Amino acid sequence: MPSVKEIYEFIDSFAPYSTACDWDNTGISVGDAEKQVSKIVFALDITSEVVEFSKHEKADLIITHHPLIFKPIKNVLSDSITYTLVNSGIAHISAHTNFDMAKEGVNTVLCKKLSLNIKKSITNDDICLYICNTEKTISLDDFVSSVKEKLGGTVRFNSVKKPVNTVAVCSGAGAEYLAEAKENCADVFLTGDGSHHDFLDADEMGIALVCAGHFETENPAVDLLIKKISEKFNVACVKCPQTTPIKTI
């Protein structure tokens, strides 16, 4: 059986932790690095439900995209996820912005799922932006319909009436890269989250901002982690059933 450390080092081989953003807190967050692992639970986010699912599955390790401890904490109380995880004896690894930046990672999975052809990637100075082409020039409405069909969830966008051929992509919370998308001549910038003011800025720039959901743009990459780790190690891999916490009416 591999150890937690060996699994961490394998992730590091295809998504180097040295490439993670300075503000990120990714890697091993809980547990014994030498612990032997026979079963892993995978999820996008680590929640109380994921921990309980992992306990029920008798897992030794949880691997998520998003970190467990993202901001400084002042205490670890009995009703917290961290406390429950530590007492369960289950270790935790996250692969966050390092997996976003990876040559075969979150954003490449998203581009493939949306049938976009990657022209170049901009992954430096805390920027993670992929510039892609559609298979053929299409209308914005058809592009948005395709995104909704392939990712599900709710898609928000501003209606810039122009054909779509060049698409900038950044999974999750990427609206801060709107200017970089425009600089790279994108007709559309596809990301997960965007604010009211981001859409106003996009209108002024003449670029369509398409926000397809943080969960929806990142969750497909969890399957890639499962595939890579199950092919490398003789361990049981289980994906925890998880949906976006955002509800709409």
Instruction: Quick: pLDDT tens for 140-190.
Output: 999 999 999 999 999 999 989 889 999 999 999 999 999 999 999 999 999
What is the residue range of 66's domain?
4-100
Q: Is residue 199 part of a domain?
A: yes
* Whether residues 143 and 75 fall in one domain: no
pLDDT in tens, 11-20: 999 999 999 9
Q: Is residue 248 part of a domain?
A: no
If one counts every other C-beta atom within 10 angstroms of the C-beta of residue 120, the result is 10
Mean model confidence pLDDT for the chain: 95
Nearest to 115 by CA among 149, 91, 72, 81: 149
pLDDT at 76: 87
pLDDT in tens, 118-128: 999 998 878 89
DSSP state of 98: H
If one counts every other C-beta atom within 10 angstroms of the C-beta of residue 196, the result is 7
* Whether residues 133 and 89 fall in one domain: no
The C-alpha torsion from 96 through 98 and 103 to 108, rounded to 10°, is 20
* Whether residues 135 and 212 fall in one domain: yes
Weakest mean pLDDT among 30-34, 74-78, 87-91, 222-226 = 74-78
* Whether residues 115 and 208 fall in one domain: yes
List the helix and strand counts (H, then E) for the chain: 10, 11
Residue that is last in its domain, among 100, 120, 152: 100
* Whether residues 55 and 153 fall in one domain: no
Residue 19 maps to which CATH number? Answer: 3.40.1390.30
* Whether residues 83 and 148 fall in one domain: no
The C-alpha torsion from 192 through 196 and 197 to 198, rounded to 10°, is 20
pLDDT in tens, 65-77: 999 998 888 888 8
